[in-house]
Amino acid sequence: MEEELAKKFVVAMMMHETNTFSPLPTPIESFARAGSLSGPVAIKEAEGTNTSLGGFIDVARKAGAEFVVPMAASAHPSGLVTKAAYEQMTTAIVDEVKKGCDAVLLALHGAMVAEHYDDGEGELLNRIRKIAPDVPIAVALDFHTQMTDAMINGASIITGYRTYPHIDMADTAQRAGRTLIRMLAGEIEPKMVWGNRPIMSSSLVHTPSREPMKTLMGMANQAEDTGQVLNASVFGGFPQADIPHLALSSVIVCDKRTAEGEILLNKILDTAWEKREGFLFHPEPLSVQVARAKSYDGGPVVMADHGDNTASGGTQDVMSVIEEAMKQDLEDACAGPICDPACVEQMIKAGVGAEVTLELGGKIDMPAMGLKGKPLKVTGKVKAITDGQFVVTGPMATGTTVRMGRTAVLDTGKMQIVISEKRAEPYDLGVFTHCGIDPRRKKYVLIKSRQHFRAGFEPIAKHIVMCDGDGCTASDLKLFKYTRVKRPLYPFDLDMRLGRNEA
């Protein structure tokens, strides 16, 4: 068996969650945040990490396969991927497949939108299929995938994250990889069935440990874990994308016969439709939320600004939550990271210990949201300056290196604010601890995140308050002007009925 599987694999990563309302461009430079874009260095950086690429490398190693990594691209969520970036990444992968291989293992996102393609992943798979129509392809996808026929037709096996925060990225790739290895050995013949329901919901209500997603994910997980099907995945979709194929979906990987998988698929999707009201988000005034945080005894009180969430394409420089916290006189607080390269430069020039007055944040307008940047004037002392790098020790993306760019800490007396040159989602305590701040000892911890913060910060939090700050990742979907989504679509069309093909 070992000798039979001593084959050549092409292993690649091309990940981006595209927020079509985000003003931030996504050139090729954005995709090198994880380190090297290809080759042995990329393998070394990814191996052993809790990432999809790390998981696929582990699969290849255990199979005794020769493998190459022609592309290891991962960018923070932002606006449309430039045509040049997309073509560079896909060409590198396709050209490697052209050289010949026995299998392709792809760590993709599932919600990539390029300037010239609405379905970035589907187009990549289509290009691979044109040159390698029969090669087995295993794909690991993010929970917020926007599933399409092109993805299904192009892949042999698809698995999705089971968790949100995504603490099972490596495991997701390994699930797909194990199925692929069995396929190569001739033990199984994977066939996929999929479907969707016209539900668009805020990512804030997608947590699989909470209803209604808990029930849906439980059905899929049980079926896969008991061997009823090879793999089963549920995808919540990504609501900050104005594209026609936005929906909640599910993919079932079956062995040869699909009848049982189709029954499971329809059961999951019908249950999602029955529970659709549970996916509604109910907004609340920011002032009320901050007042609630202030009323709590003890800490830390973690205040998560989900309106300006880096992991959904936010600018990470909207100051509305920090401004309201200062207005209500919260103290013994830490906040950040705020992405503001100009303020970092000003603080570095002033030096540690110097007093500075900053026009902090608010540098970027969001025309798609009708929002103009609004800096916040703050005065304080420069407490620390760092290179902004640290290795993640928490459960999400464990072992990877976060690169925030040059970073400085402003101490106002009541709040210590971490300010960075680059955006970084605060899913690990390292965003604070690497620059000398222990969030476990603070009364208030203000961060910009929707769900990923729970990986690192929920264990230390005495209370959690979700804050409806301004920004292009708002959870109130009525704030977005959708023009391209397929209608009818829940919750915009509350009285819609499903057609026969959907039910």
What three-state secondary structure class fits 401? Answer: strand
Three-state secondary structure readout of 298-342: CCCEEEEEHHHCHHHCCCCCCCHHHHHHHHCCCCCEEEEEEECHH
Please say if the pLDDT value at position 367 is more than 60: yes
Phi/psi at 347 (5° precision): -70, -35
Domains, the chain, in order of start with CATH, read 8-279 (3.40.50.2300), 286-474 (no CATH)
Strands (E), 101-245: 103-108, 137-141, 157-160, 190-197, 231-235
**pLDDT at residue 385 above 60?**
yes
The predicted structure's pLDDT at residue 277: 94
Give the whole-angstrom CA distance, residue 488 versus residue 179: 37
Average pLDDT of the chain is 96
When pLDDT is averaged across residues 104-130 and rounded to a whole number, the result is 99
Provide mean pLDDT across the span 418-429: 98
Instruction: Output the pTM of the full model.
Output: 0.95
**pLDDT average, residue stretch 16-45:** 92
The string of pLDDT tens digits covering residues 241-251 is 999 999 999 99
- Point out which residues pair with 382 in neighbouring strands: 410
Which distant-in-sequence residues (6+ apart) come within 8 Å of 175 by Cβ? 140, 159, 224, 231
Asked if pLDDT for residue 1 goes beyond 50, the answer is no
Residue 260 pLDDT > 60: yes
- In this structure, of 33-47, 101-115, 359-373, 444-458, the range with the lowest mean pLDDT score is 33-47
Instruction: Give the separation between CA 386 and CA 408, rounded to whole angstroms.
Output: 6
- Sequence length of the chain is 503
Name the residue among 104, 100, 193 with its Cα closest to residue 140. Answer: 104
In this predicted model, what pLDDT tens digit does every residue of 95-106 receive, in sequence order? 999 999 999 999
User: What's the mean pLDDT in 95-120?
Assistant: 98
Q: Given this model, what pLDDT does residue 32 score?
A: 85
Phi and psi angles of residue 127, each rounded to the nearest 5 degrees, phi first: -65, -40
Per-position b or e across 12-27, b if 16+ CB within 10 A of its CB? bbbbbbbbbbbbbebe
Asked if residue 491 has a cis previous peptide bond (ω within 30° of 0), the answer is yes
Mean pLDDT over 139-159 rounds to: 99
Spatial CA neighbour of 321 closest among 380, 268, 362, 368: 362
Closest by Cα among 253, 260, 263 to 189: 253
- Mean pLDDT of the region 312-331: 98
Q: Rounded to whole angstroms, how far apart are CA atoms 293 and 198?
A: 36
pLDDT score, position 123: 99
- pLDDT computed for residue 498 by the predictor: 78
The residues facing 233 across adjacent strands are 251
- pLDDT (mean) for 166-190: 98
Q: What is the dihedral of CA 376, 377, 379, 380, to 10 degrees?
A: 20
pLDDT value at residue 33: 73
Q: Tell me the CA distances in angstroms from 283 to 30, 52, 467, one per residue in order.
A: 32, 34, 9
Q: What are 268-318's pLDDT values in tens digits?
A: 999 999 999 999 999 999 999 999 999 999 999 999 999 999 999 999 999
Residue pair 336/426 in contact (Cβ under 8 Å)? The answer is yes
